[in-house]
């Protein structure tokens, strides 16, 4: 991985934690530009978009950006900033009309790696709540799992339908110093962003339709089909039973996503008060027709709040008895509770070993080198190199708590060191990556290179794992390394371009959207409120 400066690393390892003796790579003179090559020419898969941009000009491009913002406003797509003091801000979803391009050959390798990773992580979660063979073999240090706040001892011995725990994964990937994709983070509890990916595609197809006609772009919309079919595969009751999406309610920052996905999947959007567990441990939904059995819940409520009988007793968004119903095999929960044990940032460091242990395969995708401060020698190393590393609390998400050493005044690092020393096992560190860049539109119509990552979405069913062809590209503010949208970044549509076909000519694979293409009804405005039962 590219780093800001060469770093000496301890040679001792804890378990199978990858800690090389010395990183041979140094920071490049400039970040890798995904759009232009070293000579300043568009890369082969970007040639058609480059020509389109030249024809359009900066004024035309700015006009398309304004049109995109208007469409997002009509759809009611808003997103709060973590730093905003306003408790109820209304901001239009930050979207850059310029797409990010990924060549098909790169995507095929990435998709294979994402599938491999999700299958292995599902096996790991099943093992954590079952025989715990990986812990006995010290593939992962037992204290990493048993000490994780996401490990749920009450679930020991549980076996969910079809043995699937991790139905949906939101895996964050970046390019390393060689230009290859590497995994930065796994998200397996309630991964968000799929609706933003789908809306970004909807908007970009509307405001830059010519570019679609000039490129062979794989569709992202079949992700909804895979998700819907995946949920249907876990039906435990009769055809009259409901599948529902459980939301904390309109106050949740991801409310738009919950409404959007429920409507696109054609399932009711419900809150905890809309559900109850009867004396037969069956989950029921309150509808205008009376109680209706529920056998699948796509839950968007965090574990702690999911069931007040086992989680927070003061939870008003969960369903009392829900986990009891799930453990009795009366309902399927996607994702299953307890899956957070596999996306703990300390566990992340051991995922390559997990893949080897459960699948007997070499990882297709690399990890970013990671030091776990629960190991005393690695902790000493991290504390000695705070100014060169990125440190992260193991249980946080959304960019919260992350400290980028090179961007923090040295005096402030003293406080960071004290926090690490108070709870070493709760922290990991990674090299300061020089993320790849792609052109982004500025307010005056010029293009500016900004750092990006990619949130990918993969669905696991008994038939295998399927990834959306693309994902949600997140863009850092100018000069920043933090790409998370909740920290002030923006987003792009991600085009997987089949550059093996002649773009814009007969025979080119320009695939229509199965959900938003010609002849389909206009997208639903998600603002009016939730639907008890669209049927």
At residue 182, the pLDDT reads 95
Measured between alpha carbons, how far is 331 from 280 in angstroms, rounded to an integer?
12
Kindly report the number of other CB atoms within 10 A of residue 317's CB atom: 20
Measured between alpha carbons, how far is 288 from 497 in angstroms, rounded to an integer?
47
**What DSSP element (H or E) covers 450?**
strand 447-461
At residue 75, the pLDDT reads 87
Measured between alpha carbons, how far is 428 from 353 in angstroms, rounded to an integer?
17
Residues 6+ apart with CB under 8 A from 184: 172, 173, 174, 368, 433, 453
CA 26, 28, 33, 39 torsion: positive or negative?
A: negative
**Encoding tokens for residue 350?**
């051991």
- φ/ψ of 367, rounded to 5, equals -90, 155
At residue 212, the pLDDT reads 82
At residue 377, the pLDDT reads 94
Residues 6+ apart with CB under 8 A from 389: 7, 371, 382, 405, 429, 430, 431, 432
DSSP state of 389: E
Cα separations (Å) of 37 from 92, 300, 396? 33, 41, 36
479 and 468 in contact (C-beta within 8 Å)?
A: no
Measured between alpha carbons, how far is 265 from 431 in angstroms, rounded to an integer?
40
Q: Are strands 283-287 and 95-103 parallel, antiparallel or unpaired?
A: unpaired
Q: Considering only CA atoms, which of 221, 324, 224 is closest in space to residue 277?
A: 324
pLDDT tens, N- to C-terminus, the chain (535 residues): 332 322 333 333 334 443 433 333 334 456 889 999 888 899 988 988 888 888 888 899 999 999 999 999 988 887 765 555 554 556 788 899 999 999 999 999 999 999 999 999 999 999 999 999 999 999 999 999 998 889 999 999 999 988 999 999 999 999 977 789 999 999 999 999 999 999 999 999 999 998 887 888 999 999 999 999 999 998 877 778 999 999 999 999 899 999 999 999 999 999 999 999 999 999 999 999 999 999 999 999 999 999 999 889 999 999 999 999 999 999 999 999 999 999 888 999 999 999 999 999 999 999 999 999 998 999 999 999 999 999 999 877 656 788 888 888 888 899 999 999 999 989 999 988 888 999 999 888 888 889 999 999 999 999 999 999 999 999 988 777 666 655 567 899 999 998 775 544 333 332 232 222 232 222 323 333 333 333 3
At residue 216, the pLDDT reads 86
Measured between alpha carbons, how far is 40 from 519 in angstroms, rounded to an integer?
41
Measured between alpha carbons, how far is 183 from 493 in angstroms, rounded to an integer?
20
Angle, CA 252 vertex, CA 482 and CA 224 arms, to 5°: 80
368 and 174 in contact (C-beta within 8 Å)?
A: yes
At residue 398, the pLDDT reads 57
């Amino acid at each position: 991985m590219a780093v800001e400066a060469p770093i000496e690393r301890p040679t001792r390892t804890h378990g199978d934690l990858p800690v090389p003796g010395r990183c041979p790579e140094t920071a490049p003179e400039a970040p890798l530009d995904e759009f232009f090559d070293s000579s300043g020419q568009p890369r082969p898969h970007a040639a058609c978009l480059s020509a389109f941009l030249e024809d359009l000009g900066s004024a035309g491009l700015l006009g398309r950006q304004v049109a995109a913002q208007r469409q997002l406003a009509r759809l009611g797509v808003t997103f709060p900033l973590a730093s905003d003091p306003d408790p109820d801000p209304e901001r239009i979803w930050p979207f850059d009309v310029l797409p990010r391009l990924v060549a098909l050959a790169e995507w095929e390798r990435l998709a294979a790696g994402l599938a491999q990773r999700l299958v292995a992580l599902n096996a790991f979660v099943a093992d954590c709540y079952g025989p715990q063979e990986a812990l006995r073999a010290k593939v992962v240090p037992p204290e990493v799992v048993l000490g994780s706040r996401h490990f749920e001892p009450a679930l020991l011995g549980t076996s969910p339908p079809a043995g699937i725990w991790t139905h949906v994964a939101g895996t964050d990937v970046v390019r390393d110093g060689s230009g290859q994709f590497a995994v930065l983070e796994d998200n397996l509890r309630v991964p968000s962003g799929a609706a933003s990916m789908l809306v970004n595609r909807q908007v970009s197809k509307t405001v830059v339709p010519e570019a679609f006609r000039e490129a062979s772009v794989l569709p992202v919309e079949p992700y909804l089909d895979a998700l819907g079919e995946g949920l249907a595969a876990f039906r435990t009751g009769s055809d009259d039973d409901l599948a529902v999406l459980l939301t904390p309610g309109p106050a949740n920052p991801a409310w738009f996503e919950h409404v959007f996905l429920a409507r696109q999947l054609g399932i009711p959007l419900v809150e905890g008060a809309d559900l109850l567990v009867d004396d037969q441990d069956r989950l029921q939904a309150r509808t205008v027709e009376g109680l209706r059995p529920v056998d699948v819940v796509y839950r968007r409520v965090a574990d702690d709040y999911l069931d007040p009988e086992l989680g927070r007793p003061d939870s008003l968004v969960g369903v009392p008895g829900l986990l009891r119903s799930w453990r009795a095999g009366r309902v399927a929960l996607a994702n299953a509770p307890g899956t957070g044990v596999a996306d703990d940032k300390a566990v992340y460091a051991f995922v390559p070993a997990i893949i080897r242990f459960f699948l007997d395969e070499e990882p297709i995708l690399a990890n970013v080198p990671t030091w776990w401060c629960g190991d005393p020698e690695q902790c000493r190393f991290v504390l000695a190199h705070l100014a060169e590393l990125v440190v992260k609390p193991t249980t946080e998400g959304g960019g919260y708590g992350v400290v980028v050493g090179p961007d923090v005044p040295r005096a402030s690092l003293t406080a960071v060191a004290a926090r690490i020393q108070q709870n070493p096992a709760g922290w990991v560190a990674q090299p300061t990556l020089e993320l790849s860049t792609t052109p982004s539109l500025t307010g005056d119509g010029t293009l500016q290179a900004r750092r990006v990552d990619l949130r990918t979405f993969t669905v696991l069913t008994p038939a295998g794992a399927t990834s959306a062809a693309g994902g949600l590209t997140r863009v850092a503010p100018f000069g920043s390394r933090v790409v998370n949208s909740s920290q002030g970044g923006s987003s792009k549509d991600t085009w997987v371009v089949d550059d093996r076909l002649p773009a814009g000519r007969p025979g080119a694979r320009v695939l229509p959207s199965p959900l938003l293409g010609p002849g389909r009804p206009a997208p639903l405005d998600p603002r009016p409120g939730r639907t008890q039962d669209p049927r």
